[in-house]
Copies of this chain bind each other. A is one copy, B any other.
Amino acid sequence: MSKSYIRHFNANAIFHRIRIEPNVSQRDIVARTGIDKSVVSSIINQFSELGLVERNPVATSNKPGRPMEGLTISPESGLIVGVQIEADTIGYVAAALDGIPLCSRAQAFDGKLDGVADLVARGVKDIVSECGRTGDTLGVGISLPGLLTDEGVLLHAPVLGWRGVPVVDMFSAALDAPVFAGNDGKAAAMAEYMFGECIDIKDFIYLFSGSGVGGALFLDGDIYRGASGLAGELGHIKVVPQGRYCSCGGSGCLSPYLSEPGLAEEIGRLTGNRPSSFKDIMERAGANDEVVVGVLDNAGAVLGSAISSLVNIFNPPLVCLGGDMASAEPYLRPAVERAMQRLAHPSMSVQTKVIFSQLSTVSPFLGGVALALDGVTGLDSPHVLP
């Protein structure tokens, strides 16, 4: 383990502390992280010189003594761009260093690998000029629906049909800013940890649904990747023995019961009228379509069973459900809770909160921002934090 690892680790912890608690003082950072005051002072000075962190005067506290300096992440100091590549769209969001989105948009995408780097480079340039900021683009994070190696090679993205694509190198060549790439589920979990419902929770399980079901295990303050990177692909937990077929080739996975295509398929089978989108499903559920409500209730039961397994294994303080699930909370939650009541270990589940997060609905594409931000303030970027 190298020496600079400590500096980066501490710098990251301090930056995170400021993000989750704006206007915190150095003294409080010391109290909360246990890092020595000299070290905090020195790292804050560095951040301050780089323009990443601002010192704000704080309203008088009526206490004697030198008043604290409120520390905040400078919103003006630079831009982070998040890119999310999906089967049929590419989403862009430009955000300040504190993760607050400035503007976002999506463009149609034919899924072709050829020319995608230039397409994304133009998209990034457009979103940066659109948001009207002059600061540097400090990093671009690219969230991809597939598994990546440590070297930044996308091994396989089923919905795109891509295989063995060296995405980091490819996008780095086309873009001027440092590129960080990652799996979409893991990136979304990171976003929840940085900006969302799981802020500062060191251990949680994240699940999201959309065109598929993904997820991540957030353990000891970091995403667990496992020996082969497949760990945490929670869309393929088996929940129904000999159940529905899944795009992965197996059967009984969580994904075909909870993903938008899976739900639409089932509703279409039962009513002869297949919904065209998740919004469509929600509208029919809102109009009290019994079949749709029933399908969602069943999805909730299956989801609850998957969560129960996870609770019994990890005993996590938090399970966070994002993506389409968040909008469907009213239809899913009762079944989820019924299933957990029945299946989860009582003395464990009592310690677990299950929440539905709106983050990915309200501010989509933040996964990429989280990836880039983690990279920019994190361990693998000695050029940013000297």
Residues of A whose CB lies within 8 Å of any CB of B are 1-3, 5-6, 9-10, 13, 35, 202-203, 217, 219-220, 224, 226-228, 230-234, 236-238, 241-242, 248-250, 252-253, 308-310, 312-317, 342-348, 351
Contact = CB atoms under 8 A, between A and B. Distances in A.
Given A252-B343, A315-B226, A238 B6 contact: no
A234 B313 contact: yes
B3 A228 contact: no
A292 B227 CA distance: 38
Contacts of A346: 249-250
A231 B313 contact: yes
Contact of A3 (B6, B220, B344): B6
B348 A312 contact: no
A207 to B, nearest CB: 12
Nearest to A254: B312
15 contacts: A1-B9, A1-B10, A1-B35, A2-B6, A219-B224, A220-B224, A227-B315, A227-B316, A227-B317, A230-B315, A231-B315, A231-B316, A236-B345, A237-B313, A238-B343
B309 A345 contact: no
B237 A309 contact: yes
A357 to B, nearest CB: 19
Contacts of A224: 219-220
A241 B313 contact: no
B308 A344 contact: no
Indicate the member of A226, A250, A313, A345 with the most B CB atoms within 10 Å. Answer: A313
Contacts of A10: 1
A40 to B, nearest CB: 13
Nearest to A215: B313
A236 B253 CA distance: 22
